[in-house]
Amino acid sequence: MSDLVDLDTPGVATPAITRLVRLMAAREALAAVFADARRRVAAYHGEAELEPWAKGVLALVDVNAGAGGLLAFWRASVELSPRLTPAELGETALGAAALCREAGSSATVAALAAFTQIEPRLAGAGERAIWWRALTALGRAAPDCVERVAGQAHRLVLPGHAADFEGFIEAGLKAAGRDRARQHAFFALEDRLALGLLARIGAGPGFDELEAGLKMVLTALWGATPNLQPLPPAGPDTPGRANIAGPAIRLPDVFPGVAGEASRRLYLAAAAHAGAHLFFGNPRFPIRKFKPVQMVLANLVEDARIELLAMRLYPGLRRLWVPYHVASPEDGPTTGALLARVARGLFDPSYSDPDALVGKAQALFAASLERIEDPLISLDVGTRLANDVGQRRIRFDGRGHVVEPAYRDDGLGLWDFGDIDPDVVAEIKMMVDAARIERHETEDGTADEEPTPEPAGRVRPKAAGEKGVVIATYPEWDAGAGVERPDWTSVRAALPVEGDTRPLQRALDRAAPVRARIARLVRAAKVGRAARLKRQAEGHDLDIDAAIEAAIARHAGEMPDMRVFRSTALLQRDLAVLVLVDVSQSTREKLTDGSNVLDVEKLAVAMLGEALEGLGDDFALLAFASAGRDDVRVTCVKGFDEPYGAPAMSRLAGLTSGLSTRLGAALRHAGAEMSRVRSFRKLILVLTDGEPSDIDVAAQDLVQDARRVVLQLRSQGIDTFGVTLDPGEVGSGPAIFGKTNAMPVRRLEDLPMRLSELYFRLARR
Amino acid sequence: MTLPGNKAVVGDAAGIADSPLSGRPFLPDGEGWSCTIAETPMLVAPDLAAYRIDAEPYYRPVGDEISVFEAAWKHRLPVMLKGPTGCGKTRFVEYMAWRLGRPLITVAAHEDMTAADLSGRFLLTPEGTVWHDGPLTLAVRHGAICYLDEIVEARQDTTVVIHPLTDARRMLPLEKRNELIPAHPDFQLVISYNPGYQSAVKDLKESTKQRFVAIDFDYPAPALEAEIVMREAGTDPALARTLVAIAACSRNLKGQGLDEGASTRMLIHAGRLAAGGVPLEAAVHAGIVLPITDDADVRQALGSAISACFA
Ligand SMILES: Nc1ncnc2c1ncn2[C@@H]1O[C@H](COP(=O)(O)OP(=O)(O)O)[C@@H](O)[C@H]1O
Ligand SMILES: [Mg+2]
């Protein structure tokens, strides 16, 4: 402030407006504009009120906002004066000054211009402050991105969602890091993540939040658990629509711009509609030579057909769908608008429209009502309507077409794109391509949720530095030599990887019936088993034997024992269990449904984890694999002293298959962990898909070693049980764990239930 | 059985096992006192008038259950009614008891039920101990149909007392009394069993299950169930159909959020509320949604499905 202070007598507070006037008088180029702005702001608020505003201008001067910055603020002041007080304008200038310090003058000019536009969307001082704070943070990390963001302000700042704007900027900075190119792409909204986040601004709850509820509603309505999947945004400005792909219903991640209760209703309407498609048969017409307009109209009729059938079963569905049928001739002359009116007319026979196409659609549909069960009427009626459209030369662009109303699916599920006629018209090709691209993109989008599968049959490459620290060494039984070799194996702590829990969560959701059974077991077990106590001093029932003895004693003149009641007491559970999961290479084996053995193991362990958590029993989860005696890797998924929650689940999800199975060493380690736990009963459950093996020893020797460990553990009071994935029951399970403690699982699908059942059986003893 | 000194042991299990059953009560007689065991105090009229069903209970047959039951009755075979709760099993037994003109003694099993709750126990009176027949014993002595509802709820050792009644012996040993009662010719045992609850913890022993003729019960088909709801709750046909559709939705959620779907009984409750003037949504909420689940998310999802059921 040095040059300003020089103008005044030190110590005497000169009003900012006086200082400003003096300062501006010296700046010829600005003087006239300043005078004009000051006059116009004063006209709104009165000359006497201008002090805070002038302070703001001085702050801008102070940060070298330059002539451009000052002019931009004055312009903003004049435009916003009807809405903001001089004090609020002053705040704005302070915010702009803070930004200017980080990002320079031209960024500030852009931000002030954008602020003027979006200010009406901001509620109060708090939200205005958010705007400046977020931009200042952006300016600090990526100054050259501020202008880009300011240019997109109308899309990023929505009424009531200013916080989302700040969240968007934070997310972008986090995702891009110091990578300039990524920063640019993100804040120019050219990046996938940015588009996804943009769609969420002012929208939601989205798919993730609503999935579980929708699944239940569809199950209740249509009697089968639906396969619901999220669909990432197709591109900027493309409204999301549901899509039916085979048995799967794919719903947009989020319906952009639809928030709160409206979002819940839209998802429900869309899910119920898609569910009706699947319930009343999805015929999948071979696409052959259909024109796009024909396809679109057939889709409209099919939509009306399945909705009519659905509403016969569930009349209340009308209430769900009717609010979206609001198309009217006022919507404009586009073909899309006309098609939306056809949709309305088909949905609501009482709707009448000036365009003959709507009336014709209604008439044809009404005439087909007696064949309503037959999906072919959709193709028939659609084709006849398409002819009319053709004769009237109504232009239709298949590529840019978006189905209306918003709850309807994109209609692609109705068609079989399998065998396209080679001389198909170019237009359809485009439409099909568009559909394919969209499919393709979404497949990419979901692919990165799961770890990219490595080529099967190859052991995970192992870098020397990747070996974890040795946490223990154990002896091993050398069956050939008949001696126990001390310190023969080294157990290393493998760093747990936090994985994406969503696939696991979905698998859990799909297994709801089994989980419910397990939950019942939990409840039953939790109630505790009542122990009947005889000869008690008090109780709810007479112990008749004791009563008679007491009577006899009294008559015999002896001192009767008055403990003549029976009571019950709940047995305390006091047990600890350690689950040891084999994650060796063989668990990578693929199953028919695309998952692999490890996935099923994870599901089984997750379900058991839920049960154990519910019971409050102490438990730990360890995973193991080995690459020679020097490198037995044990991953701690959950320790005894932490709860089974989201972190443990994500470590469970993060387990990957690879390497070999040195079971004995892993068991010794599990035993050592267990010996630290104080519990009356101690169990180790081993979940393995096959035989012990390793690269430097004969498998049979490892079987004998493991057997020895099991016996040693038993002598220490630790019971070891093996759940082996052993369809042929030919494995070494019984040889290792003993006949009664080996539980071969014949069908892999049964593993989750079996594992939990086994536990409950064991825990009851 | 010998008396050590002048102490008596009555009904000691081990004692019964190694002494021939006399069928007579054992009377210990220590000096100066007596443990009075009345020869079955007649607290209940032998014709079990209190247990007779006078008016025909409304029962709408859904399959061949009546003829199967009658055939079983002819041979006095024990019958197991399998099915979810509230689907008409109890009503069916009541109807059959009326139809066959037999008294019906019903026992609802529960977790803490012991064998004594079925067979009887000594009660202490100022005069000493008095034997009191339990409901099963009453039925066995006087020839009633004994209906053990939700038998799995009882502890497994409890259910063992019915074993000798359910094979060729048709006897009820009263260990405590050292008595062996041959069943009255008209005695029949009926149990109900909900396979939905079946679990490793609570299930009937295989040796118990295999003693019974089973009749499968399920919620009646929609048209039939609507007829029952109409009749029992006094609703109009449209309301009854709506309630049945709501039940179907909830039954789809069994195991996927709900432990059990809405039973016929629940529909009747909701129907009575609605027929009595409570708005349908409120009646369904109070009669079905609230009792069936405590989970807010499940409630909301069920609510959405339910609101699809009525216009
Ligand atoms: N077939 C049927 N005929 C008549 N009423 C029935 C029938 N099925 C169910 N109900 C009605 O349902 C109610 C519940 O049935 P109930 O026999 O108590 O069930 P459960 O014994 O199977 O738990 C009965 O009170 C009765 O009103
Ligand atoms: Mg559709």
User: Percentages helix, strand, coil for chain B, rounded to the nearest 5?
Assistant: 45, 15, 40
In this structure, how many other beta carbons lie within 10 angstroms of the beta carbon of residue B30? 17
How many whole angstroms from B87 Cα to the centroid of ligand 1? Answer: 5
- Which residues fall within 8 angstroms of residue A295, CB to CB, at 6 or more apart? A287, A382, A398, A411, A414, A415, A431
CB A567 within 8 A of CB A538: yes
Is residue A696 pLDDT above 70, yes or no? Answer: yes
* Listed range (A7-21, A226-240, A712-726) with the worst mean pLDDT: A7-21
Is residue A587 pLDDT above 50, yes or no? Answer: yes
Q: What is the mean pLDDT of chain B?
A: 82
* Structure confidence at residue A86 as a pLDDT band (50, 70, 90): very high
* Structure confidence at residue A674 as a pLDDT band (50, 70, 90): confident
Which residues in chain A touch residue B245, judged by CB atoms under 8 angstroms apart?
A: 313-314
Is residue B78 pLDDT above 50, yes or no? Answer: yes
For residue A690, how many C-alpha atoms fall within 13 Å in the half-sphere facing its CB?
Answer: 16
CB A168 within 8 A of CB A157: no
Comparison of pLDDT for B91 and A562, the residue scoring more: B91
Comparison of pLDDT for A5 and A657, the residue scoring more: A657
Q: Give chain B's length.
A: 311
pLDDT digits (tens, 9 = 90+) for B217-230: 999 999 999 999 99
Position in ligand 1 atom list of the atom nearest CA B224: 1
Is residue B253 pLDDT above 70, yes or no? Answer: yes
Position in ligand 1 atom list of the atom nearest CA B85: 23
Mean pLDDT of A61-88: 94
CATH 3.40.50.410 location in chain A? 502-524+575-764
In this structure, how many other beta carbons lie within 10 angstroms of the beta carbon of residue A659? 21
Tell me what pLDDT residue A5 has.
Answer: 43
Tell me what pLDDT residue A624 has.
Answer: 92
Share of chain A above pLDDT 70, in %: 86
* Radius of gyration of chain B measured on its C-alpha atoms: 23
Tell me what pLDDT residue A75 has.
Answer: 94
CATH architecture group of domain A502-524+575-764: 3-Layer(aba) Sandwich (3.40)
In this structure, how many other beta carbons lie within 10 angstroms of the beta carbon of residue A279? 18
Distance (Å, whole) CA B176 – CA A196 = 76
Tell me what pLDDT residue A425 has.
Answer: 35
Tell me what pLDDT residue A450 has.
Answer: 35
Is residue A440 pLDDT above 90, yes or no? Answer: no
Interface contact A551-B35, CB threshold 8 A: yes
User: Percentages helix, strand, coil for chain A, rounded to the nearest 5?
Assistant: 55, 15, 30
pLDDT digits (tens, 9 = 90+) for B150-188: 888 887 777 788 899 998 889 999 887 888 999 999 999
CB A299 within 8 A of CB A379: no
Phi and psi at residue A132, in whole multiples of 5°? -70, -40
pLDDT digits (tens, 9 = 90+) for A704-726: 888 888 888 887 778 888 888 77
Q: How far is CA A285 from CA A376, A401, A667, in A?
A: 9, 20, 58
Secondary element (H or E) of residue A570: strand A565-570
Give the gap in angstroms from C-alpha B173 to the nearest C-alpha of chain A. Answer: 17
From the CB of B106, is ligand 1 less than 6 Å away? no
Q: What is the mean pLDDT of chain A?
A: 82
Nearest residue, CB atoms, A212 vs list B28, B245, B297: B297
> Which ligand sits closest to the CA of B58?
1
In testing the pocket of ligand 1, which one of B79, B85, B91, B98 has its CB within 8 Å of the most ligand atoms? Answer: B91
Is residue B197 pLDDT above 70, yes or no? Answer: no
Give the gap in angstroms from C-alpha A663 to the nearest C-alpha of chain B. Answer: 30
Tell me what pLDDT residue A413 has.
Answer: 82
Neighbours of ion ligand 2 (CB under 5 A): A 303, 408-409
In this structure, how many other beta carbons lie within 10 angstroms of the beta carbon of residue A531? 11
* Listed range (A70-84, A278-292, A299-313, A323-337) with the worst mean pLDDT: A278-292
Comparison of pLDDT for A417 and A307, the residue scoring more: A307
Cis, bond preceding A405 (omega within 30 deg of 0): yes
From the CB of B59, is ligand 1 less than 6 Å away? yes
How many whole angstroms from A350 Cα to the centroid of ligand 1? Answer: 44
* Structure confidence at residue A528 as a pLDDT band (50, 70, 90): very low
- Is ipTM over 0.90? no
Is residue A348 pLDDT above 90, yes or no? Answer: yes
* Listed range (A490-504, A635-649, A660-674, B34-48) with the worst mean pLDDT: B34-48
Mean pLDDT of A677-692: 80
Interface contact A552-B121, CB threshold 8 A: no
Is residue B26 pLDDT above 60, yes or no? Answer: no
pLDDT digits (tens, 9 = 90+) for A174-193: 888 888 988 999 998 888 78
Distance (Å, whole) CA A732 – CA A727 = 12
* Structure confidence at residue A51 as a pLDDT band (50, 70, 90): very high
Tell me what pLDDT residue B46 has.
Answer: 66
Instruction: Cite the beta strand spans of chain B per DSSP E.
Output: 79-82, 104-108, 120-125, 128-133, 145-149, 171-174, 179-182, 188-193, 213-216
> Which ligand sits closest to the CA of B91?
1
According to DSSP, residue A694 is labeled: B
In testing the pocket of ligand 1, which one of B58, B87, B216 has its CB within 8 Å of the most ligand atoms? Answer: B87
Is residue A434 pLDDT above 60, yes or no? Answer: no
* Listed range (A61-75, A339-353, A522-536, B244-258) with the worst mean pLDDT: A522-536
**Per-range mean pLDDT, top range of A12-21, A419-428, A474-483, A513-522:** A12-21
* Listed range (A352-361, B21-30, B258-267) with the worst mean pLDDT: B21-30
Position in ligand 1 atom list of the atom nearest CA B94: 17
Among protein residues, the one with the nearest Cα to ligand 1's atom 7 is: B88
Share of chain B above pLDDT 90, in %: 57
Is residue A37 pLDDT above 90, yes or no? Answer: yes
Interface contact A551-B300, CB threshold 8 A: no
According to DSSP, residue A693 is labeled: B
Which residues in chain B touch residue A545, judged by CB atoms under 8 angstroms apart?
A: 9-12
Is residue B31 pLDDT above 80, yes or no? Answer: no
Tell me what pLDDT residue A758 has.
Answer: 77
CB B145 within 8 A of CB B103: yes
Interface contact B257-A512, CB threshold 8 A: yes
DSSP B187-239: -EEEEEE-GGG--SSS---HHHHTTSEEEE--PPPHHHHHHHHHHHH---HHH
**Looking at the DSSP assignment, which residues form a beta bridge with residue B104?**
B145
From the CB of B269, is ligand 1 less than 6 Å away? no
Question: Which residue of B34, B176, B201 is the best one to mutate when testing the A interface, meaning the one whose CB has the most A CBs within 10 A?
Answer: B201
Mean pLDDT of A270-287: 88
Which residues in chain B touch residue A223, judged by CB atoms under 8 angstroms apart?
A: 248, 252
CB A568 within 8 A of CB A590: no
pLDDT digits (tens, 9 = 90+) for A611-641: 778 777 788 999 999 888 888 899 999 988 8
Comparison of pLDDT for B278 and A755, the residue scoring more: B278
Residue A146 three-state SS: helix
Mean pLDDT of A216-232: 90
Comparison of pLDDT for B64 and B115, the residue scoring more: B64
Comparison of pLDDT for B39 and A392, the residue scoring more: A392
**Per-range mean pLDDT, top range of A599-608, B107-116, B288-297:** B288-297
Is residue A532 pLDDT above 70, yes or no? Answer: no
* Structure confidence at residue A415 as a pLDDT band (50, 70, 90): confident
* Listed range (A222-236, A255-269, A630-644) with the worst mean pLDDT: A222-236
Is residue A309 pLDDT above 90, yes or no? Answer: yes
* Structure confidence at residue B106 as a pLDDT band (50, 70, 90): very high
Tell me what pLDDT residue A421 has.
Answer: 41
Mean pLDDT of A493-507: 84
